[in-house]
């Protein structure tokens, strides 16, 4: 993992790279581990994504209200 999650509540298990060539097929355990890692990363990034979405939507809303007032007045 290049960038570990900023939330300290998410436990991170470090695995050393052996330098071997990648296998063509994944075992079920390795696939489940990767899915679990993706799930944890999505959960860790959700608050930041939702906060950004709220700011963007509020900006659009206030801009549209300002434009509608401008169009009525002018």
Nearest to 7 by CA among 49, 53, 40, 33: 40
pLDDT at residue 52, rounded to an integer = 94
pLDDT digits (tens, 9 = 90+) for 16-69: 766 665 556 678 888 898 999 999 888 888 888 899 999 999 999 999 999 999
Distance CA 25, CA 62 (A): 52
72 falls in which pLDDT band (50, 70, 90)?
very high
Distance CA 12, CA 2 (A): 12
pLDDT at residue 19, rounded to an integer = 63
Q: What residues does each domain of the chain span?
A: 48-74
12 falls in which pLDDT band (50, 70, 90)?
confident
pLDDT at residue 5, rounded to an integer = 73
pLDDT at residue 1, rounded to an integer = 53
């Amino acid at each position: 993992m290049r960038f570990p999650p900023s939330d300290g509540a998410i436990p991170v298990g470090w695995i050393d790279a052996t330098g071997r060539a990648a296998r063509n097929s994944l075992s079920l355990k390795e696939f489940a581990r990767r899915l679990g890692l993706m799930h944890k990363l999505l959960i860790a990034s959700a608050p930041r994504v939702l906060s950004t979405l709220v700011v963007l939507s509020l900006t659009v809303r206030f801009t549209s209200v300002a434009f509608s007032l401008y169009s009525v007045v002018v």
